[in-house]
Amino acid sequence: MTLQNPPVNSLSLDFLTEFCSALEKLEMDKSCRGVILTSGQPKVFSAGLDIMEMYGKSPERCGEFWRAVQEMWLKLYSSNMVIIAAINGSSPAGGCLMSMTCDYRIMADNPRYSIGLNETQLGIVAPFWFKETMVNTVGHRTTEIALQLGQLYSPTEALDIGLVDKLVPEDQIIATATQTMTKWLAVPDHARQITKSMMRKPTIDKLMSKREPDIQNFVSFITKDPIQKSLGLYLSMLKKRKS
Ligand SMILES: CCCCCCCC/C=C\C=C\CC(=O)SCCNC(=O)CCNC(=O)[C@H](O)C(C)(C)COP(=O)(O)OP(=O)(O)OC[C@H]1O[C@@H](n2cnc3c(N)ncnc32)[C@H](O)[C@@H]1OP(=O)(O)O
């Protein structure tokens, strides 16, 4: 699957809806046992959640957006398929979350790229299921530091902490992902799928049982004046940096 939402693959409501529907089709297709997730945009895997979906929007619209974010996470994290992330660009916040739901992460070895959950840098807080996905990936202590600082890691740093599994030159990323997929698909599906589910079920069940309160929490948090102000400042910083 190639992410195509120019310029930076930000995760808008429309894009998330289309992504989930495409993933669901593959999940139901018995001939499809694995997916390589990559970006069709230069330099960026995904810029994370579309900040415009959280800025100046009605509570109803924010709720609808958050449900779509939850759905994307649930579909990816609980997929029966082998999902390999071929991270061919920067992957902050929601982009990092998306990468962490995959079974294996291969990143392009380019020091200009970065990956991490940088929410606190925007004045927002990564929700419990973002946090737990990271704990499940890199452990508790590393997550505590990463989340409080809103740390973005270079590919080499990400490899050191286990946030990604392998670095390769960018032009070898799909070939390496394909070789890796062959290895993963050599394991009998049922045994691998049950094992994956055993590892991830507690985190998935927790969000499933708290979906509505999590949406309400998000809406009441994101629509608060100081949070809107922080997002506005961050957006203007992004635009200024460009000029
Ligand atoms: C008490 C507990 C309560 C819990 C409540 C839960 C609350 C949780 C809430 C939210 C969680 C959010 C998670 C997120 O994912 S937030 C998004 C964070 N993303 C970022 O910080 C990334 C920002 N972008 C960048 O750093 C760069 O754009 C980069 C991805 C590195 C690409 O750089 P470059 O190639 O140089 O491109 P530009 O910066 O020039 O960007 C091009 C245009 O795209 C716009 N842009 C960039 N990112 C986003 C985005 N995430 N959303 C919307 N728009 C984005 C950028 O402004 C440029 O626009 P323009 O061309 O109009 O200037």
Q: How far is the CA of 76 from the centre of ligand 1 (A)?
A: 21
Token pair of 192 as six digits = 């691998």
The residue-averaged pLDDT of 92-119 equals: 98
Question: CB of 177 closer than 6 A to ligand 1?
Answer: no
Query: Is pLDDT above 90 for 111?
Result: yes
Q: Which of 81, 126, 76 is nearest to 101 (CA)?
A: 76
The rounded distance, in Å, linking the Cα atoms of 83 and 177 is 10
The rounded distance, in Å, linking the Cα atoms of 35 and 181 is 8
The residue-averaged pLDDT of 172-187 equals: 98
**CA 57 centroid distance within chain:** 22
Token pair of 68 as six digits = 């779509």
Encode pLDDT of 190-230 as tens digits.
999 999 999 999 999 999 999 999 999 999 999 999 999 99
Question: Which pLDDT does position 243 carry in this prediction?
Answer: 59
**Average pLDDT along the chain:** 97
Question: Which pLDDT does position 125 carry in this prediction?
Answer: 95
Question: CB of 237 closer than 6 A to ligand 1?
Answer: no
The rounded distance, in Å, linking the Cα atoms of 243 and 239 is 7
Q: Within 13 A of 204's CA, how many CA atoms are on the CB side?
A: 16
The rounded distance, in Å, linking the Cα atoms of 147 and 120 is 7
* Percentage of the chain lying above the pLDDT 70 cut: 99
Question: Which pLDDT does position 170 carry in this prediction?
Answer: 98
Query: Is pLDDT above 90 for 110?
Result: yes
The rounded distance, in Å, linking the Cα atoms of 224 and 110 is 38
Domain ranges within the chain, ordered by starting residue: 2-242
The residue-averaged pLDDT of 5-27 equals: 98
Token pair of 30 as six digits = 């018995």
Which atom of ligand 1 lies at the shortest distance from residue 239's CA?
63
Cβ atoms 207, 70 nearer than 8 A: yes
* Residue nearest atom 50 of ligand 1, based on CA coordinates: 50
CATH for 2-242 (3.90.226.10, 3.20.20.150, 3.40.720.10, 3.40.50.300): 3.90.226.10
Q: What are phi and psi of 33, to 5 degrees?
A: -105, -10
The rounded distance, in Å, linking the Cα atoms of 42 and 170 is 11
**CA 59 centroid distance within chain:** 23
Encode pLDDT of 18-62 as tens digits.
999 999 999 999 999 999 999 999 999 999 999 999 999 999 999
Catalytic residues: 49, 94, 118-119
The one-letter code for the residue type at 75 is K
Question: CB of 214 closer than 6 A to ligand 1?
Answer: no
pLDDT band for position 242 (50/70/90)?
Answer: low
Cβ atoms 97, 130 nearer than 8 A: yes
Question: CB of 44 closer than 6 A to ligand 1?
Answer: yes
**Hey, which of 238, 239, 242 would you mutate to test ligand 1's pocket, going by the most ligand atoms within 8 Å of its Cβ?**
238
Q: How far is the CA of 118 from the centre of ligand 1 (A)?
A: 10
Strand, helix or coil for residue 143: helix
Encode pLDDT of 25-37 as tens digits.
999 999 999 999 9
| Model ipTM value | 0.97
The dihedral built from the CA positions of residue 42, 98, 19 and 64, taken in this order, carries a sign that is negative
Encode pLDDT of 127-137 as tens digits.
999 999 999 99
Cβ atoms 152, 120 nearer than 8 A: no
Any residues with CB less than 8 A from the CB of 21 and at least 6 apart, and which? none
* Percentage of the chain lying above the pLDDT 90 cut: 97
Question: Which pLDDT does position 241 carry in this prediction?
Answer: 83
Question: CB of 119 closer than 6 A to ligand 1?
Answer: yes
Q: How far is the CA of 191 from the centre of ligand 1 (A)?
A: 38
